[in-house]
Chain A
Amino acid sequence: MKGLLILLKKVFPFIFFLLLEIVSLVLIFQNNRYQRSLLYAHINELTISFGKFSKQVSGYFTLAGENEKLARQNAELWSMLSRAQGLTDTLPTKPFAPKIFKQDSLLATQDVVHSKTSLSSRTPEYKYRAARVVNSTLYRQRNFITLNVGRADGVRPDMGVVSESGVVGIVVNVSSHYAIVASLLNKEIRISSKIARTGHVGSLMWTGTSANEGMLSEIPQHVNARMNDTIVTSGYSTIFPKGIVVGIVKKVRQNKGTFSDIYINFTTDFSNLDYVYVVETLHASERLELEKKTMGE
């Protein structure tokens, strides 16, 4: 207590000095209009920049939540887009027009006879679910990705997984809250893909050498694939919708046989995956059953 008093006695003159200075400043800004206006302007500026700064900081802390929200919105939008594409695919062009075989329009040629009433009753073909990557491998011959969604979220094996930049892989195993995805970097995965420019379909697989190189095989030699051609999913399987980007052509090698090998760079960066989308093909089982019954397999 005595020490405190001594300390107070020691610092009191300085506190008194500060007090007098504060009184003087108050007098200045209360009684001089020019100084007051400048002070207000400065305070205003300071408040605005502080507000901006605190918003930036708080924005940073809420980023995770915002990301999740955006991912969910993305999934919804993609579902809506797939529904819209389903509708446009079935739009009749002219009542008796000859079949125009356009690229990416196989469905259009088949459904040209659909009446308009059938359009409104048509349900969307695909449903997207946002998910987060919780684990992944890159340097094995069979690489897998673990997602934070599972059976409880409606995820089942043989569903496709895509990201904003392209195809990621196929769900191979699920527990109630997690799903294991065989990524494109898995030598057991084959994806039916086509060259977007020409429409020729082949089978895509990982070369097993580098984390971004794949090979599109079974493309006839007469097909003129070029560098930088885009490779997209064909939509022939029940796993991926058609037209999702897989990679870009890097090199074309002519084989001795009838097919050429097309080497591509995957557009998905597997070392930097966070949010992905699980694709559910809504009538997959129905289609598969029909195909199986018809083809007798």
Chain B
Amino acid sequence: MTHLLRYIWYAFVLIVLQVFLIQNLNLFGAFSNFFTPCVYLAVIIGFPTDVPRTIQYLYAFFIGLSVDILSGTLGMHAFTATLAMGLRELGFVWVLNRSMATFTDVINIHTIERTAFISITVFVIVLHHFVLFFLDDMSWASLPWVLLRTLCSGLLTFVIIMLIQTYYINKKKYR
């Protein structure tokens, strides 16, 4: 239960970071539209798997909803964050070849193989970003732009998640 509360706190921090820093910072000037990482994916991917699945989905849903409310995109992040949680599960089952019932631990870059973790992360990030940007545009004509945004923002999200996983979690020795 304590780590659940901790993860709610992490979520709060990342949401604030996402909405007030990343989405307003214009780090990439004219290309900022292409570089909008979704840092909250870090807590979704790293969320403990021993928590009931309904709680996992609810957690992701509320993270997304909070981002939506604060950035005026009602529903879009809620949809994709919940989807990301489902995709994470799918990734675990496929990449680790284990059924969800056997997960009783926290999954991060230190508890499973590095390549397996990277595969799951990339899988979740790419699909999450693609669906998010597609929902934003909703037209097949702008598919190349959606793919470019997915690539650029996804790359940035991936780097941020790997940094958090490698340094922050390692430092805390949280397992």
Contact = CB atoms under 8 A, between A and B. Distances in A.
Given A20-B82, A24-B78, A35 B138 contact: yes
A21 B82 contact: yes
Contacts of A17: 53, 57, 82, 85-86
B93 interface: no
A13 B57 contact: yes
B57 A35 contact: no
A28 B83 CA distance: 14
B135 A20 contact: no
B168 to A, nearest CB: 28
B79 interface: yes
A20 B58 contact: yes
A25 B61 CA distance: 12
Nearest to A37: B138
Interface stretch (B29-37, B69-77, B113-121, B151-159): B69-77
Interface string A218-237: 00000000000000000000
A31 B68 CA distance: 11
A12 interface: yes
Interface string B26-61: 000000000000000000000000001110011001
Contacts of B139: 38
A25 B74 CA distance: 9
B64 interface: yes
Interface residues of A, number: 19
Contacts, number: 60
Nearest to B73: A32
A31 B57 CA distance: 22
Interface in A18-51: 20-21, 23-32, 34-35, 38
B53 A13 contact: yes
Nearest to A24: B79
A28 B80 CA distance: 11
Interface residues of B, number: 22
B138 A25 contact: no
A61 interface: no
A60 interface: no
A39 to B, nearest CB: 8
A28 B75 contact: yes
A24 B64 contact: yes
Given A21-B82, A35-B135, A27 B57 contact: no
A16 interface: yes
Instruction: Give the one of A26, A32, A34, A38 with max B CB within 10 A.
Output: A32
A38 B141 CA distance: 13
25 contacts: A13-B52, A13-B53, A16-B53, A16-B54, A16-B57, A16-B58, A17-B86, A21-B79, A24-B61, A25-B79, A26-B75, A27-B68, A27-B75, A27-B78, A27-B79, A28-B74, A28-B75, A28-B79, A30-B74, A32-B73, A32-B74, A35-B135, A35-B138, A38-B138, A38-B139
Q: Which 3 pairs, one residue from A and one from B, show the smallest C-beta to C-beta distance?
A: A27-B75, A28-B75, A24-B79
Interface of B: 52-54, 57-58, 61, 64-65, 68, 73-76, 78-79, 82-83, 85-86, 135, 138-139
